[in-house]
Amino acid sequence: MPDPAPRGNILPLDTAPGHNRRRAETAAWLLMAEELRYERGGRCLLDGISFALSPSGITALLGPNGAGKSLLLRLLGGLIRPDSGRIRFDPAFDGSTGMVFQKPVLLRRSVRANLDHALRIARIPRRQRTGRIAELLVMADLTHCAESPARALSGGEQQRLTMARALVNKPRLLLLDEPTASLDPAATAGFEALTREIARMGTKIMLVTHDLHQARRIADDVIFIHKGRIHEQGPTTAFFAAPRSPEARAYCAGTLIT
């Protein structure tokens, strides 16, 4: 593993969407969740979820196992529909969303072919694809195994590939479900530098993580959910300084029993 810092800096400038245009936007939120409710098999898995997602920066979504974080991310990504409630988007939002799933799903093809496939679906012209793939491979530090079957990669390499794939369409919103769960410390540091850079260039990032130090390091604000409900949300510093809800306090202390 090379030093993570330069890897973050290698990020090509055009990986993030043109943020100058969006600087002028005045909307206070990129999306607004209103009373979202999601049930499955008679169980209410998400209930009364309301929050406004700020137009920029990194929002950490925290909560114990089974809290409903992955479900919420799927709702925001439009992969599942709420049973009631709705999600409103900033009218200026172009809908471009990148998603990294908790479990990497990769095509039965080479690393390069996986990226090429995503670029093709994002309607990137063939001539530009080769260059973009090279950039993305460098960014995800996967150049050495570009031709390997994607599903033969290590867990961490697979996660980096899914991250690179989520960035092909330079999304305005990036939804990341525990993207560093299988990364080594250096790769994690590289990832954090990368996300900060992407956020700086105008992409809104929502990040599910169980790594509280990571949340503290890179998140601007925090949403804490437990048993399908939001118990707390606010700026990172305030959240970690003094969690107001007993559940959040217990979770941070590592004593929350689910």
Partner 1 sequence: MLDGQIIEIVALSLRVSVFAVILAALIGVPLGALLAVGRFPGRNLATMTINALMGLPPVVVGLGLYLLLSRSGPLGILQLLYTPTAMIIAQMILVTPIIASFSQQVLSDLHAEYDEMLRAMKATRLQVMGTLIRDARHALVTAFLAGLGRALSEIGAVMIVGGNINHATRVMTTAIALETSKGNLRLAVSLGLILLGLAFVINIALVVLRTRLERQAHA
Ligand X SMILES: Nc1ncnc2c1ncn2[C@@H]1O[C@H](COP(=O)(O)OP(=O)(O)OP(=O)(O)O)[C@@H](O)[C@H]1O
Strand order in the sheet with 84-89: 43-53, 31-40, 84-89
What is the contact mask toward partner 1 in residues 161 to 200, using x (rule: CB under 8 A)? --------x-------------------------------
What residues numbered 82-111 form the site for ligand X, per CB under 6 A?
102
Smallest separation, CB 154 to ligand X (Å): 21
Binds 21, which of ligand X, partner 1, Mg ion, none (CB < 5 to 8 A, cut-off by type)? none
* Binds ligand X by CB under 6 A, chosen from 16, 60, 62, 71: 71
Contact status, residue 247 vs residue 226, Cβ threshold 8 Å: yes
Tell me the C-alpha to C-alpha distance, in Å, between residue 256 and each of 206, 245, 250: 23, 12, 5
Smallest separation, CB 80 to partner 1 (Å): 9
What is the contact mask toward Mg ion in residues 75 to 104, using x (rule: CB under 5 A)? ---------------------------x--
What residues numbered 3-62 form the site for partner 1, per CB under 8 A?
none
Q: Does 151 bind partner 1 (CB under 8 A)?
A: yes
Residue closer to partner 1 by CB (options 107, 256) is 107
Contact status, residue 226 vs residue 62, Cβ threshold 8 Å: no
List of E strands, the chain: 31-40, 43-53, 58-62, 84-89, 97-100, 173-177, 204-208, 221-226, 229-235
Which residue, 12, 20, 22, 18, is CA-closest to 128? Answer: 12
